[in-house]
Each structure stands twice: as structure tokens, then as C-alpha cells.
Amino acid sequence: MKETPLDSLIRAFAGLPGLGPRSARRIALHLLVNRERAMNPLMQAMAQTAENIRTCHICGNLDLTDPCAVCRDPARADDLLCVVAGISDLWAVERTGIFKGRYHILGGVLSALDGIGPDQLSVAPLLERVRGGAFSEIILALAATVDGQATAHYLTDRLHTLPGGTDLRITRLAHGVPVGGQLDYLDDGTITTALKARK
Ligand SMILES: [Zn+2]
């Protein structure tokens, strides 16, 4: 039997993070019933976002401009770099409002199990950026998982081998990040504490 457009819609929703078939059907029905109020604005917002979203060539963030708003912000410190695994981590740190430096998105963490090595991540661009920049501190804001910490260890070694790398202050998030904790799932207060107490 051929899949109807409604079936496709439900299947698309069901494939989104945090949604299953049940919530997918509820959302689809809500949109069908509220076409004017809910479906049309959603369609417009999605079409506009899809058309205008860019990957920042400096940090890897997604934004409507390249460079992104964070990289373009003249009020931010140019000597402070926060390295995160993904965009959701950047968002999580931004929500705290206490970090006023720049970011670098790795695109994941090293994982022997998943076959993710340095070449699959934005490691070379990070080293290039630090080499050409005037950073005094690099904050490795990676998850307190085995892979996250192994990645932080690896990056620390690589950063130290850069010219002047031994003068770099390389810090990690401190207390408050539970073992196995992904940044994204932490509340803002916990991230704030972890940032302030970095070492
Ligand atoms: Zn950027």
C-alpha cells in the first residue's frame, strides 16, 4: 500500500529526537486541525530556516550568517576559546550567559568504538585557529564521559605541541558535571558552576 502524505508526515515526526509514533500522531493531528494557526507558520518558518541557515566557517555553529553572530560579536573576548563537542553544547553554555569568549565546535568526540578519530572531527581547524589566534586560555568543555575526557586529554597534548603551546592555559569544566554527563542535559546553574570552577 502506498504511503499517504499524512503517513509520511507522521513518519517524519516520529524520526525526530525525543518523539515516538504516539507523539508524532498527536502533532500531525494538531497541525491538521489547526492548519492556519499552526501548520502554515511552521511551514514558513521551516522553509525560511532551511533556505537561510549557514555553517559558520570559523567555529562550526549554525546561524543565518557566516561568520555566525557569536564570531562577529565585537564585545566578546578574542583570547578565550571554549571547545565544545556539538552545537547543542554551545547553546547550553550560551544559555548561562556567563561565557563571553569564542567557541569551536568539534563535531563530536573521539570514539574508538564508533571509529571516530581526529580526522573525523574539527581538530585540524582548531589547531590552525589556535596557532593563528591570540588565545590565552582554551576551555575544553567536553562531557564527563570516557570518550569526552579522552578527547580532552588528546586535545591538551596536541595544543601543547603548538608553537608557544606550553604557555596556553588549558582548562576543563570542574565540579558539577556528573560522571557520564552530557552538557546538553545539565541545568544552566550546573554549567555555570562548572565553568566558574574550571581548572
Ligand atoms: Zn562562528
Please state the rounded mean pLDDT for residues 15-20. Answer: 93
| pLDDT in the model for residue 159 | 96
For ligand 1, an ion, list residues with CB under 5 A.
Answer: 56, 58-59, 61, 67-68, 71
Ligand 1 centroid distance, CA of 182 (Å): 22
| pLDDT in the model for residue 198 | 82
Q: What is the pLDDT of residues 126-138, one digit of tens each?
A: 999 999 988 999 9
| pLDDT in the model for residue 9 | 93
Burial 74-92 (b: 16+ CB within 10 A, else e): eeeeeebbbbbbbbebbeb
- Give the DSSP letter string of 34-92: TIIIIIHHHHHHHHHHHHH-EE-TTT--EESSSS-HHHH-TTS-SSEEEEESSHHHHHH
Give the rounded distance of the alpha carbon of 166 from its chain centre: 27
- pTM for this one? 0.79
| pLDDT in the model for residue 175 | 54
Q: What is the pLDDT of residues 130-167, one digit of tens each?
A: 999 889 999 999 988 889 999 999 999 999 999 888 88
Ligand 1 centroid distance, CA of 103 (Å): 7
